[in-house]
Amino acid sequence: MRDTGVVRRLDELGRITLPMELRKSLNLTERDSLHIFVEEDKIILQKFSPSDIFTGSMDDLIDFHGKKVSKESIIEMAKLAGLKVKE
C-alpha cells in the first residue's frame, strides 16, 4: 500500500471527496461504482467490476435475472444437470 499524502475530512453525512488526480490515475469516472472492503482498521475502496456469482470470473458474462454468470459456469451447470452441451 502506498501513501498518497492526501487527508480528507468526512462531511456531516459521512462522505469524502476523492482528489481528481487520484480519480484520474485509477481511471474512476463520475458515477462509477466502488466496492468497499474492511481489513482490520482499514477501509479499502476498489473500482467495482461485475463478475460471475459462482467463480468470480469476469470473462464472457451473461446477465441472468440481474446476476452475472459466465458461459463457463452455465456449461458446467448444464453438464451437472445431465444436459448434453455442444461447446
- Average pLDDT on 37-66 reads 91
Q: Is the dihedral of CA 48, 26, 60, 77 positive or negative?
A: negative
Q: Does the pLDDT value for residue 65 go beyond 80?
A: yes
Domains and CATH numbers, the chain: 1-48 (2.10.260.10), 49-87 (no CATH)
Report the alpha-carbon distance of residue 45 to residue 80 in Å, rounded. Answer: 37
What would the pLDDT profile of 3-17 be if each residue is shown by its tens digit? 888 899 999 999 999
Report the alpha-carbon distance of residue 56 to residue 49 in Å, rounded. Answer: 10
Backbone angles phi, psi at 25, to 5 degrees: -65, -25
Share of the chain above pLDDT 90, in %: 62
**Quick one: pLDDT at residue 83?**
94
Report the alpha-carbon distance of residue 60 to residue 68 in Å, rounded. Answer: 10
**Quick one: pLDDT at residue 49?**
83
- How high does pLDDT run on average in the chain? 91
Which SS3 state, helix, strand or coil, does residue 71 take? helix
What would the pLDDT profile of 20-33 be if each residue is shown by its tens digit? 999 998 889 999 89
